[in-house]
Structure 1
Amino acid sequence: MPERDEKEPGADRPKKPRSCPLKGEEAEVNHIVETQNISPAQARELVRRYGNDWRKIEEAAKIYKEDS
């Protein structure tokens, strides 16, 4: 039986940016700040208000940006 290559699946593929961060409020806040260009305080408020409903968070972030 031939030896198998012990690489992890997908290890040779380039990593794409994630559309959603990993679990954890601070990671979510950082992701929102980077992608939506709003303040960390505003991003925390959106995470508290909408949880992980990214569609609602993006809509609310657009409103924040329009008000600025």
Structure 2
Amino acid sequence: MARKKSTDTSRVKKGAELEVEHLAEVTDVTPKQARALLRKHGADWQRLKDEAEDLKEE
């Protein structure tokens, strides 16, 4: 018998607002910049932080 797949709402999905807020807070970039970085690099947090540092320098 096949089980119906349930959705886990306790997990934050890629690009979700919580991730955007966290990245913006940690790296001091705007939420718009954080959203763009998350779209481009996904969940690679080391790369996200490096890219955010580059944005701040500009």
- The answer to whether the superposition gives a TM-score over 0.5 is yes
Structure number with higher helix proportion: 2
TM-score (norm 1): 0.63
The structure with the larger Rg is: 1
1:12-31 equivalences under 5 Å are 23-24=12-13, 25-31=16-22
- String of CA shifts for 1:7-37, please: whole Å, max 9, x gaps: xxxxxxxxxxxxxxx6231111000111100
Cross-structure match for 2:8: none
Q: Report the identity percentage.
A: 37
Task: Report the residue type matching 2:28 in the other structure.
Answer: N
Identify the residue that residue 54 of structure 1 maps to in structure 2. 45
Task: Please give the alpha-carbon distance, in whole angstroms, between the structure 2 residues aligned to 1:44 and 1:51.
Answer: 10
Letter in 1 for 2:30: S
RMSD over aligned CA atoms reads 1.1
Aligned residue type for 2:48? I
Shift of 1:52: 0.6
Provide the rounded CA distance (Å) in 2 between the counterparts of 1:47 and 1:54.
9
Gapped regions of structure 1 (runs ≥ 5): 1-21
Structure 2 CA distance for aligned equivalents of residues 51 and 28 of structure 1:
10
